[in-house]
Structure 1
Amino acid sequence: MHRPHSTPRPHPSAGRRPRAERKQPSARPESAARDRGRLLATALAVLACLSVQALPAAAADAGAVVSRGVTIPAFYTPPANLPAANGALIRSEPLPLALSLPGLDGPLPGTATRLMYKSTDSNGQPVAVTGAYIEPSAAWKGGGARPLVAVAPGTMGQGDQCAASMGLEHPITFNGETVSVGYEDLAVYRLLAKGVAVVVTDYVGLGATDRLHTYVDRLDGGHALLDAVRAARGLTGASVAAASPVGLFGYSQGGGASASAAELQPTYAPDITLAGTYSGAPPANLTSVIKGIDGSALAGALGWSLNGFLQSDPDLQDFADAHINAAGKAALNDLSTMCVGDAILGYAFKKSTAWTTDGKSVSQLVESTPALQATLADQRIGNLKPTSPVRLVTGVQDDIVPHAQARQLAVDWCRKGADITYDAIVLPNLGDGLLLNHVAPLITDQGDAISWLTDRLSGKRASSNCWTMPLQP
């Protein structure tokens, strides 16, 4: 599906509108502006630490798909016909890594390949998913075959230009229309440094240009991550095979995807034996998460969720028509091509009450709408039992992806007899709604997360601490 230059991607509840015709945001209160200024300063400080040069967006070719001034390579346009097998490679090509140095055994940290592979969406339909595989230059010292870790990225946005595989090539894209940051590159490179092969999924609809990204959809996310493992195994020249130990790694949206994949694996991918899964700050109960993100610095994520569910479940369209007003539909259309940076700058601290016909919040509408309750109940992670070890981490101050619902996932799995290592990260409150309470555990725990996972990949047994749950915050 080709889109005109600089035109936002259409979504099910709003028509296609040129950028020049979109209503501009109204003036923000001074307090919100000050909060946004502090948040932006923090984000810029993090970017400065990355020491990555900002890269301009690519120039547009005639007929190319363009998202906020960024030309999406033709590679990301799926073919009309897809293979039958889940994880089957559709196409691949070399992927130049932005951060790459010459080494004796090849480029450091490794050699990357862009992937497109077949998966199955939440409606049981075939779907093309993109991603990347990176063959590390470093040797694996853990014994046995080189392991493979499938990385589920955290929240990137809903525009195709936000895809994690593109972030490996362009860690920062800033062109005046979009701000895209490949922040998952850090975890990827740390895994590569240990000699672990890495495959990264872009998720359903992020990168691939035929549909919207189905943000936080547990089936789409879990399937895409497991099928990325299959795709990596089928790649010519990759050093991983069926005998290679496999791990899953994700935080935030990625934590939900890795958690979903871990509990779906016994039925969806019995051919994959998981050594361990890291799930950080998983959005396991979306009813709770909606309350956390509404009015926060990441308020735009609420729009991404609505866009995805409206695409996956057309029966919700009548609800959208009745309850989402013109401003809400314009916001959903605008957000459908945004990355995280764009959404923070454009929609931070916005409340969903401004998007509804009766002034109710989305959470209040959920409480009074059985169809929405059913949709969110179907998204609940924790109703199935993972049969491999999982380390679940949540920050006790996390108010964006609320701590209590993530902890409840650990409780639900422990009650089912799963092998769970639960860690509560205790940090000071860094500011309600500012996203910092959510991001801080990602940074402070990442080293421990990678160490735990590489221990599992080395064959070391995990020790469940479910018995400590009554003592843990």
Structure 2
Amino acid sequence: MKKHLKHHFWKNTARTLICTLLLSTTVPTVAQAGGLTEAPPAGAAGAVGGAGAGATVPAAPGTLLSKSPVTDAIPGLGNAFRITYASTTTEGDPTTVTGFLIEPTTAWQGPGPQPTLVMAPGTRGQAEICGPSGARSLIGDFDPKYGSLNINYELPQAYAAAAKGLRVVMTDYMGLQPHAAQIHRYVNTLDAAHAVLDAGRAALKAGDLPPNSPILFYGYSQGGGAVAAAAENLPDYAPDLNLKGSFAGAPPADLQEVIPVIDGTAIMGVLAYALGGMRIRDHAAYEAVVKYFNPHGLEVIDQVAHTCVPDMAARFGFKSTREFTTDGSNFADIMAREPEVRAYLERQRIGKKPLSTPMLVVSGRYDDIVPFAQARTMAENFCKSGGQVFFFTDETLPVPGGIGVNHLAPKSNTWQRAMDYLIGRLDPAQEVPVNCGAF
């Protein structure tokens, strides 16, 4: 028995380490804390404005509230700034969001005026330290109190885009910053959409650019959902933005389809992220779930709120939500029983509004975290409402174990395809590729 338990422990530990390494393979090693210095905070010398992150401010959505240089950023790859900007929650309440901006040192050689690329990050966690702009040197950080490890694994792509001459802004989303007004509501559709759209507005203001300057959206995984949500909400929320095109990779568009797949994988802890976010204002749905939870399950919701993805995967990877309930039900079982939960998840579904701008959607046929079928359905729904959509299927062969290989591989495989597609949308002479009805 002891031999079996020991084997089981090391098997799970190895699988979790593999997943964590996969998340960070494209990121430079985090420098030692002693060699790093914090960028000037909002309101300090060199900053514009002085509103604190998460504070309630009487400012129009997209207003730039602060801009301070990242003095310890990687040199020679662009001039980086941390920004704070005004936005609006799902409920219409004013809030502030943080992020970072890279002004390229490479001249834009593409068609038309220099574009601004808004990057919506993939899942980072729920702790305040997890936001991309909160990372030291924009690379990473560690909170010894909770063991939270922030790895800005999409920073290389942000710099790669800047090397092409694109201005790049990456949002932290709402709640992923120190002293945030509320916890990050993971995969809350309108929160994410507003954060992305207002990042675009703020980035233009940060560069003193005309409001009709070209904007592009890029996002994968959580970011893919945020981009798709932003694009479909553009006409209602930010019609002033001149969005030319979007890339939405592996979007979790229908959470009712995602939940059964992600449960038991390396990052199953994201289900607790979603519950923690529900607890803030969606009380009926939250209570409909946690009435089934045992004390351990309730503790997990509180514990993951202080984690970023690498440490969350190390602590909770490959568990089943059956371990968290009094009757052995998993999250999918509860969802099937509880109409309040299904109604909440339906409110988050993406693809219910028509697109007004072109979009490339990518999904891996064997994605082991965010299932292929629901991403394709989102693209089909956009097509049915008249959207200009191209859907691309990544055919990476299946790798068993729920470690996320088939979720992460398409991101690397399609980076150049995504950039070529987005830059192509800036050329009015280039035909928009559409394959609606053929995927």
Q: Which residue number in structure 1 is paired with residue 41 of structure 2?
A: none
> 1:188 corresponds to which letter in structure 2?
A
Asked if the contact 2:289/2:341 (under 8 Å) is kept, the reply is no
State how far apart, in whole Å, the 1-side matches of 2:296 and 2:34 are. 29
Whole-angstrom distance in 2 between the partners of 1:367 and 1:173:
39
1:129 paired with 2:97, answer yes
Could you list the per-position Cα deviations for residues 217-264 of structure 1 after superposition, in whole angstroms to 9, with x for gaps in the alignment? Answer: 1100011000001111222xx164323211000000000000000100
- Pair 333,45 (structure 1): closer, same or farther in 2 beyond 3 Å: closer
Give the letter for the 2:82 counterpart. R
Identify the match of residue 149 of structure 1 among 109, 117, 138. 117
Bigger CA drift: 37-46 or 256-265?
37-46
Which residue, out of 262, 285, 299, partners 1:293? 262
- Residue number in structure 2 paired with 1:313: 282
* Residue in structure 2 matched with residue 86 of structure 1 by the alignment: 61
Contact 1:57–1:173, Cα closer than 8 Å, also in 2: no
Query: Aligned match of 1:216 in 179, 187, 192?
Result: 187
- Aligned-residue Cα RMSD (Å) equals 2.4
User: Number of matched residues?
Assistant: 421
C-alpha spacing 1:320/1:403, structure 2 compared with 1 (3 Å): closer
TM-score, structure 1 as length reference: 0.84
Residues 48-447 of structure 1: pairs in structure 2 closer than 5 A:
50-56=27-33, 77-78=52-53, 80-96=55-71, 98-100=73-75, 108-167=76-135, 169-174=137-142, 177-208=147-178, 209-235=180-206, 238=207, 240-447=209-416
Q: TM-score, normalised by structure 2?
A: 0.90
User: Residues 139-193 of structure 1: CA distance to partner in whole angstroms, max 9, x if unpaired?
Assistant: 1111321101110000000011110112372413346622221011022111101
Whether the 8 Å contact between 1:118 and 1:129 is mirrored in structure 2 is yes
Amino acid corresponding to residue 66 of structure 2 in structure 1: R
SS at 1:457 equivalent: coil
Corresponding residue number in structure 1 for 2:42: none
Secondary structure of the residue aligned to 1:247 is: strand
In structure 2, relative to structure 1, the CA distance for the partners of 1:128 and 1:51 (3 Å cut) is closer
Shift of 1:213: 0.4
Alignment check: 8 A CA contact 1:275 1:456 kept = yes
Change in Cα spacing, 1:33 to 1:211, as seen in structure 2 (3 Å) is farther
Distance in 2 (CA, whole Å) between partners of 1:359 and 1:202 is 36
User: Is residue 30 of structure 1 aligned with residue 7 of structure 2?
Assistant: yes
Query: 1:88 touches 1:231 (CA, 8 Å); kept in 2?
Result: yes
3-state SS, counterpart of residue 250 of structure 1: strand
* Kept in 1: contact 2:264–2:321 (CA 8 A): yes
Q: Which amino acid aligns with 1:286?
A: L
- Alignment-mate amino acid for residue 202 of structure 2: A
Name the structure 2 match of 1:71.
Answer: none
Following the alignment from structure 1 to structure 2, what is the Cα–Cα distance between the partners of residues 440 and 76? 39
Q: Tell me, what secondary structure is at the counterpart of 2:299?
A: helix
Matched residue type, 2:182:
R
AA at the equivalent of 1:211 = Q
Identity percentage of aligned residues: 35
Letter of the 2:342 counterpart: Q
Which stretch shifts more, 40-49 or 432-441? 40-49
Gaps of 5+ in 1: 1-26, 62-74, 101-107
